[in-house]
Amino acid sequence: MEIYLIIMLVLMILGSIYSLHAKDLLSAVVSYGIVGFGLVIAFLLLYAPDLAIVQVVVEIITLIIMIAVITNATHEEQAKEFSFSSIFYIAVFLFFGFVLLGVLAQISGLLNSFGHHVTRMASAYIINAQEAGSANIVTGILFHFRAYDTLGEATVLFTAVIGILTVLRHHGKKKEDKNEG
């Protein structure tokens, strides 16, 4: 069980490394799909079918929107100029990488090993799930025990859509300027 998850994670890491170093933008987007679909198999191995269905459809829609963005744009990347600031950025990134690895080494004593999770909070939800009346415990949590969070999620989705509709607006402001001037 653990060996399959390790294989999927290594596949995702290789796909993401190639995606950030591809010369062509279209190859980068396609190999970003490897990461997304590897995540679907990881969800199925972890007994989470709800998340797998959502992740498949969301990944396909993301790929469609990304390809629509880069279709009429240049595909080539300009030559890499090795300037001083790129060395600075790489140094800062390595510093943060070592800090995060050190943090993980410190808290590895507090994390339970994989597969031996202590469900202190979730045991109350599972025991009282009959009171909610739904056979799917995840839906019962989302709509009965924690319905306020679902309202917050709907609000965030609404706000993000309003933001997109505002950014992509194309009113005839320029035509008015041309008429006046």
The least distance separating another protein from the CB of residue 133, rounded to whole angstroms, comes to 3
What's the one-letter identity of residue 153?
E
Applying CB under 8 A, which of residues 27, 29, 30, 41 lies at the interface with another protein? 29
The least distance separating another protein from the CB of residue 180, rounded to whole angstroms, comes to 19
User: Does residue 19 touch another protein according to CB under 8 A?
Assistant: yes
If one counts every other C-beta atom within 10 angstroms of the C-beta of residue 117, the result is 10
How far is it, in rounded angstroms, from Cα 17 to Cα 142? 35
Applying CB under 8 A, which of residues 4, 24, 128, 158 lies at the interface with another protein? 158
How far is it, in rounded angstroms, from Cα 80 to Cα 145? 53
How far is it, in rounded angstroms, from Cα 144 to Cα 132? 7
What's the one-letter identity of residue 94?
L
Binding characters for another protein, 102-121, by CB under 8 A (x = yes): --x---x--x-xxxxx-x-x
User: Does residue 79 touch another protein according to CB under 8 A?
Assistant: no
User: Does residue 48 touch another protein according to CB under 8 A?
Assistant: yes
Question: In Å, how far are 41, 118, 169 from 180, measured between CA atoms?
Answer: 59, 70, 21
The least distance separating another protein from the CB of residue 9, rounded to whole angstroms, comes to 4
How far is it, in rounded angstroms, from Cα 55 to Cα 151? 21
In this complex, which beta carbon is closest to another protein, that of residue 68 or of residue 181?
A: 68
